[in-house]
Amino acid sequence: MKRSRDYRADARTKMKGKWGYALLGVVIYGLVFAAMSFTGILALLFGLPLTIGLLSYLSKLYDTGRADVGNLFDGFKDNLVNRILASVLKYLFVALWSLLFVIPGIIKTYSYAMTEYLMMQDSTLDANAAITKSRTMMDGNKGRLFLLDLSFIGWIILCGLTFGILYLYVAPYMLSARLSFYEDLYERTYGGRKVSSNENN
């Protein structure tokens, strides 16, 4: 079973020679998300479709060596209603669990963490199926993803010391490591088989 350092190594391999393009995608994503955040409701409704677009962009970049800026908006092309619903449901479920205490909210955040990855990989998944399958995949793996995120704490501190400049490297690095985590987890869970929304939950 891979560890955090393995996912980071995978990320560095993916990014080699493609960091500039990865950064371009992250910057455009950040600017669009920041613009939506001014209203709040747009970020809630379209945050997940936008994230799916970023994941699609990075996946195409690493798999084929190239990706178009238009891929950043792939999340808006298919099954948009279900993706908006998934965005709202994720926020609602985490908020409700957080009412109990902070820790349950964090646990549920990691439980639902693979939702957008699954919907990126299979555009036919409905919101409930994607969230359910994310819970299934993350059963016993939430701690592993938490440790992967925690392994970047040193980088995040350095970002603060450099007034955020280093974040231009760290952001694509973290996203790429998480993408490697998903790919490995998906392979171990489904053996590379496409996840269908018609499967039983």
Q: How confident is the model at residue 192 (pLDDT cuts 50, 70, 90)?
A: low
- Give the Cα separation of 17 and 91 in Å (integer): 36
- 3-state secondary structure string across 134-155: HHHHHCCCHHHHHHHHHCCHHH
Mean pLDDT, rounded, for 186-200: 64
Mean pLDDT, rounded, for 11-17: 94
Burial of 136 (0-12, 13-18, 19+ CB in 10 A): middle
Predicted TM-score (pTM) of this structure: 0.90
Q: What is the pLDDT of residue 73?
A: 95
137 within a domain of the structure (yes/no): yes
Q: What is the pLDDT of residue 197?
A: 41
pLDDT in tens, 80-117: 999 999 999 999 999 888 887 888 899 999 999 999 99
- Give the Cα separation of 16 and 19 in Å (integer): 6
158 within a domain of the structure (yes/no): yes
| DSSP code at position 126 | -
- Give the Cα separation of 192 and 185 in Å (integer): 10
Q: How many domains does the chain have?
A: 1
19 within a domain of the structure (yes/no): yes
Enclosing domain of residue 86: 4-190
- Give the Cα separation of 102 and 45 in Å (integer): 23
154 within a domain of the structure (yes/no): yes
pLDDT in tens, 55-80: 999 999 999 888 999 999 999 998 89
71 within a domain of the structure (yes/no): yes
What share of the chain has pLDDT > 90, as a percent?
76
39 within a domain of the structure (yes/no): yes
Q: What is the pLDDT of residue 184?
A: 95
Q: What is the pLDDT of residue 196?
A: 45
Q: Quick one: how far is CA 166 from the chain centroid?
A: 21
The per-residue pLDDT of the chain, averaged, comes to 91
197 within a domain of the structure (yes/no): no
196 within a domain of the structure (yes/no): no
pLDDT in tens, 167-179: 999 999 999 999 9
Q: Count other C-beta atoms under 10 Å from residue 168's C-beta.
A: 15
- Give the Cα separation of 46 and 86 in Å (integer): 10
- Give SS3 for 165: coil
